[in-house]
């Protein structure tokens, strides 16, 4: 069996996340599997690099699958895209020689979160950025982001509902940029807890709105109580933006 890694981009608005669920609930994973199965001529099971939630997007996402089909790798993107809806695209493909697994082989991931800080909602950012009309202090938000960098127990900024052995993760960078009225936060880590980026963004927004101080964040993480941190921000502003792998997939995502 050939072990294939795909680079995907998708607008998650119409989907109940990545994870294959029960029939009748459209997910990115199930939609991809159906398309791959149709083109490959046999039933395909795909593994995603992470479980994005309902309404969450991906600029760059890795999905792996095994196949006996003989389609040459360079022809795969166009071949699969003909079977995919317009809100999911295969950008690139490569063949892995070793024990590649889209989730287990992933070294680190980056998410971005977009927030539109205008008095009036921009219709073209609907489901693409979180609309926040209140006053925000960029410097405080930037200082808040820095507090999340490093190895911490992130229990305070995760939603319950997923099983994990440990809530300790290492955040390699967390920063926020402003372009006009749009704030974009980037967070890179070795792994993410459920809703972690959305809760970090909620806490950063609380700092920007003056509800808490950036210096409160270390103690808040220490305490580990979800209720002390900011709200889980809506899914439409969240994008998986980059993934890192060793081997062939690593080159593809470089």
Interacting residue ranges for a second copy, rule: CB under 8 A: 9-11, 57, 77-78, 81, 86-91, 119-124, 126, 128, 131
Q: How many CB atoms lie within 10 A of CB 140?
A: 18
The SS3 call for residue 124 is: helix
- Shortest distance, position 14 Cβ to a second copy, whole Å: 10
- Shortest distance, position 210 Cβ to a second copy, whole Å: 22
In terms of CB distance, is 142 or 186 closer to a second copy? Answer: 186
In terms of CB distance, is 92 or 96 closer to a second copy? Answer: 92
Active-site residue flag, 92: no
Sign of CA dihedral 195, 144, 221, 224: negative
- Shortest distance, position 49 Cβ to a second copy, whole Å: 17
In terms of CB distance, is 93 or 188 closer to a second copy? Answer: 93
- Shortest distance, position 71 Cβ to a second copy, whole Å: 16
From CA 72, how far away is CA 95, in angstroms rounded?
A: 10
Catalytic residue among 53, 68, 181, 216, which?
53
From CA 168, how far away is CA 157, in angstroms rounded?
A: 11
From CA 116, how far away is CA 78, in angstroms rounded?
A: 34
From CA 120, how far away is CA 199, in angstroms rounded?
A: 24
Q: Residue 197 belongs to what H/E stretch? A: helix 196-208
In terms of CB distance, is 81 or 170 closer to a second copy? Answer: 81
> What pairs with residue 175 in β-bridges?
186
Active site residues: 53
């Amino acid at each position: 069996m050939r072990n294939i890694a795909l680079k995907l981009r998708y607008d998650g608005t119409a989907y109940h996340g990545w994870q294959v669920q029960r029939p009748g609930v459209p997910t990115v994973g199930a939609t991809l599997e159906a398309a791959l199965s149709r083109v490959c001529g046999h039933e395909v099971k795909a593994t995603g690099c992470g479980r994005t939630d309902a309404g969450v997007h991906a600029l760059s996402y890795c999905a792996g699958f095994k196949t006996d089909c003989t389609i040459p790798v360079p022809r795969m993107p166009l071949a699969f895209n003909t079977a995919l809806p317009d809100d999911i695209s295969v950008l690139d493909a490569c063949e892995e020689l070793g024990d590649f697994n889209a989730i287990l082989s992933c070294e680190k991931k980056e998410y971005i979160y977009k927030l539109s800080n205008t008095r009036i909602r921009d219709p073209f950012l609907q489901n693409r950025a979180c609309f926040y009309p209140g006053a925000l202090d960029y410097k405080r938000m930037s200082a808040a982001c820095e507090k999340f960098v490093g190895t911490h127990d992130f229990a305070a900024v995760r939603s319950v509902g997923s099983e994990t052995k440990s809530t300790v993760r290492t955040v390699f960078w967390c920063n926020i940029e402003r372009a006009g009225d749009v704030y974009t936060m980037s967070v890179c880590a070795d792994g993410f807890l459920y809703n972690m980026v959305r809760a970090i963004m909620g806490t950063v927004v609380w700092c920007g709105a003056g509800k808490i101080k950036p210096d409160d964040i270390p103690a808040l993480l220490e305490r580990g109580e979800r209720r002390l941190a900011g709200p889980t921000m809506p899914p439409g502003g969240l994008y998986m933006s980059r993934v890192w792998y060793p081997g062939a997939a690593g080159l593809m995502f470089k």
